[in-house]
Structure 1
Amino acid sequence: MRLRTVLATVTAGLAAATCLTAAGPANAHADSQAGHDSHDSHACSSSVSIDRFSDALDKTTYDGTFVGNFSALAVDGDGSLAAVSDRSSLFSLDGRTLAPKAVVPLADESGAALDSEGLVVDRDGTRLISSETEPSVRRYSRDGKILDRLPVPDELLVAPAGRAVSNGTFEGLTLLPGGRTLLASMEYALNGDSAGIVRFPTWQRTKDGHFELGRQYAYRTDTGLGVPEVQATPDGRLLVLERGFTSGVGNTVRLYLADPRRATDTSGIESLTGQDDVRLIKKTLLADLVNCPSLGATAKQPQPNPLLDNIEGMAITGYSKGRLKVLLVSDDNQNAVQTTRFYHLRVRV
């Protein structure tokens, strides 16, 4: 999306994730010894290191469709990657090379394009995709046919229908372990809530396979930042991306580990003002990506670290003994001064 100032189940998703390797496209910027947490030259923090990045897909096309505007990633059951563009396209990417293999257009019930932002590959291979226009969450088949639409709480609708701000709703989408709970992350606070306190609604899977509204949680972002993506870890915690942009300075991107399991259900609370009786989702900083090594990256606009760009999508592509392989992607907004860039991280949780 334009800034204003995976796991399907633990069993199926991680099984697919383990099929992915660290290999990247031939022209990926890489160090032959990258990928080991012991290499200080690749450390972003004590918990996060970066193996390499790739600009191989920047400003390319596939089957007549611009490859970019990526807002979400997910691991598919065959080990490939699903990637959604906020210009209403759903891509399939090779899990090793990231090369596009297929693309299908997305639309709403009237045939209009989506501002598609969040993506989950469900256990049956269908795609749950959020759009921040209304906002909405719909289930699609692999070929882009609408199969279902989930209910959305009235207060989360964009004003005047609800209290959400335009271009600040369902950015992230993830299934919690077990595959029964779907969680979305709002990017910005509702009108009437304190600045920086964003809501994470959930849905519970019913016996017939549909989703009904569930609990809701509150999360406090750092000052001036929003939440572009969230991903569930195998133990029920969340990786949360926080992001912001300052003209003439560049992007801020931070990765947090958050725990919603003891947070207050805020679905019945009209205004969140930081009151003491509301337990927010606890979060711990894993890394501020400005501290990652640049690895030779260049930026087309001012950045505090030339490696940074408008990072918006995230998927957990592997897990072993508390260590995650995490893939990030930036949304270039089809803009000449931004880059479609993939980042291969190792995260210790």
Structure 2
Amino acid sequence: MRLRTVLATVTAGLAAATTLTAAGPATAAQVTAAPANACSPAVSIAGFSDALDKTTYEGTFVGNFSALAVDGKGEIAAVSDRSALFTLDAKTLKTLAPTSVVPLADENGAALDSEGLVVDRDGTRLVSSETEPSVRRYSRDGKILDRLPVPDALKVAPAGRATANQTFEGLTLLPGGRTLLAAMENSISGDSKEIVRFQTWDRKSSGRTFQLAAQYGYRIDTGLGVSEVTATPDGRLLVLERGFTAGVGNTVRLYLADPRHATDTSSTATLTGQDGVRLVGKTLLADLVNCPSLGATAKQPQPNPLLDNVEGLTITGSAKGRLNLLLVSDDNQNPAQITRFYSLRARLP
């Protein structure tokens, strides 16, 4: 299935799922005058689906999703932070039915905290883990094929300056397939608490092996962290920033970021924001609290019942600066949270 077909299926399927979750039948007035679905001037929501919430597939819990990617076959790959790699059927996105699941592990067979996912051009899966942190290449059946080098400073203390569970949260392959980028969720020791590092790796166009390359600083909003990063067709980045406040709920903001003119910080020991380093520029596309709820319900306090712990983001189609996005929340296998998929449309400035 081609990417454009995936786009149409995702949008139609999630819109249908939203209709099923809405309260009561639509009236004639509602049919002729559709509600505004704008989250901001640049972003609107097409629908959502809770169909996979608290389900199982072949004995594996379906949830804990932390990343999504579209592969060359038009399927949706989804990684769980409980060391499971799912394939979801793009032809049945109304229910997002899983079609396969394989376990992931490190070289010693230990479980990973898998957070980022890229489907490479040869169909292999690149998966980042917060545990060390690490980026490994896996075959479709979960066999380790390769492991990328990681700078010492980004390793979890005492090996490095990073904090456990605050490392490689996002992973994306830039257009052309030669540069891989991983986003730290939060800052490392010595850096400003509001500056995180983006690490890149480069490879030759004919090769598979990645080598360490440039690193960049990115300023996060106070109280938030990076939960996902996805490259746009023009080489910029979509960045999800997310946070949670007990008794209030989640904050989820979508930014457009541009690393192309940022300073390479791979040799910069500390990032203070006052050191002359040019950080990655960013522009707010939408704060998802402003999206219409579309009849969604929440299992815990939320400023908008549509919101949950959104961690995964992938582009399912693009045309003339307009993108169709698929997002997913990580329910942490918690009865108070929801595995929810969102279909958004974004117009890039």
Q: TM-score, normalised by structure 1?
A: 0.92
CA distance in 2, matches of 1:55, 1:208: 40
In the TM superposition, what is the alpha-carbon distance from 1:193 to its structure 2 partner? Answer: 0.2
In the TM superposition, what is the alpha-carbon distance from 1:136 to its structure 2 partner? Answer: 0.1
Query: 1:111 maps to what in 2?
Result: 109
Task: Describe the superposition over 1:192-221 as per-residue Cα deviations: whole angstroms up to 9, x where unpaired.
Answer: 000110000000013532000000011000
CA distance in 1, matches of 2:132, 2:159: 9
Alignment of 1:51 onto 2:49: no
Q: Which has the higher helix share?
A: 2
Query: 1:330 maps to what in 2?
Result: 329
The aligned amino acid for 1:49 is S
CA distance in 1, matches of 2:296, 2:8: 28
Task: Describe the superposition over 1:86-107 as per-residue Cα deviations: whole angstroms up to 9, x where unpaired.
Answer: 0000000011421100000000
CA distance in 2, matches of 1:247, 1:13: 42
Q: Which runs of at least 4 in structure 1 moved beyond 6 Å after TM superposition?
A: none
In the TM superposition, what is the alpha-carbon distance from 1:28 to its structure 2 partner? Answer: 1.7
Identity of aligned residues (%): 74
Q: Which runs of 5+ in 1 are unaligned?
A: 1-11
Alignment of 1:160 onto 2:158: yes
Q: Per the alignment, do residues 25 and 256 of structure 1 end up closer, same or farther by CA in structure 2, a change over 3 Å counting?
A: closer
Q: 1:29 aligns with which of 18, 28, 33?
A: 18
Q: Per the alignment, do residues 317 and 27 of structure 1 end up closer, same or farther by CA in structure 2, a change over 3 Å counting?
A: closer
Contact 1:256 1:285 in 2 (8 A): yes
The aligned amino acid for 1:136 is S
Query: 1:74 maps to what in 2?
Result: 69
Q: How does 1:148-227 map to 2 (within 5 A)?
A: 148-206=146-204, 207-227=206-226
In the TM superposition, what is the alpha-carbon distance from 1:54 to its structure 2 partner? Answer: 0.3
Alignment of 1:131 onto 2:124: no
In the TM superposition, what is the alpha-carbon distance from 1:14 to its structure 2 partner? Answer: 5.2
CA distance in 1, matches of 2:113, 2:210: 21
Alignment of 1:41 onto 2:36: yes
In the TM superposition, what is the alpha-carbon distance from 1:39 to its structure 2 partner? Answer: 6.3
CA distance in 2, matches of 1:217, 1:161: 21
Q: Secondary structure at the match of 1:72?
A: strand
Q: Secondary structure at the match of 1:177?
A: coil
Contact 1:25 1:56 in 2 (8 A): no
Q: Secondary structure at the match of 2:11?
A: coil
Q: Per the alignment, do residues 18 and 308 of structure 1 end up closer, same or farther by CA in structure 2, a change over 3 Å counting?
A: closer
Query: 1:7 maps to what in 2?
Result: none
Contact 2:4 2:316 in 1 (8 A): no
Query: 1:4 maps to what in 2?
Result: none
Contact 2:14 2:47 in 1 (8 A): no
CA distance in 2, matches of 1:51, 1:28: 10
Larger Rg: 2
CA distance in 2, matches of 1:254, 1:239: 10
Query: 2:284 maps to what in 1?
Result: 285
In the TM superposition, what is the alpha-carbon distance from 1:277 to its structure 2 partner? Answer: 1.4
Q: Per the alignment, do residues 179 and 13 of structure 1 end up closer, same or farther by CA in structure 2, a change over 3 Å counting?
A: farther
In the TM superposition, what is the alpha-carbon distance from 1:23 to its structure 2 partner? Answer: 2.6
In the TM superposition, what is the alpha-carbon distance from 1:18 to its structure 2 partner? Answer: 4.9
Alignment of 1:340 onto 2:339: yes
Query: 2:239 maps to what in 1?
Result: 240
CA distance in 1, matches of 2:172, 2:250: 24
CA-based RMSD: 1.9
CA distance in 2, matches of 1:120, 1:55: 24
Q: Per the alignment, do residues 191 and 111 of structure 1 end up closer, same or farther by CA in structure 2, a change over 3 Å counting?
A: same
Contact 1:13 1:75 in 2 (8 A): no
Q: Secondary structure at the match of 2:294?
A: coil
CA distance in 2, matches of 1:347, 1:305: 20
Q: Per the alignment, do residues 25 and 232 of structure 1 end up closer, same or farther by CA in structure 2, a change over 3 Å counting?
A: closer
CA distance in 1, matches of 2:39, 2:8: 26
Alignment of 1:100 onto 2:98: yes
Between 95-104 and 19-28, the greater mean CA deviation after superposition: 19-28
Q: Secondary structure at the match of 1:23?
A: helix
CA distance in 1, matches of 2:15, 2:296: 16
Task: Describe the superposition over 1:10-39 as per-residue Cα deviations: whole angstroms up to 9, x where unpaired.
Answer: xx9956855744232697223899xxxx96
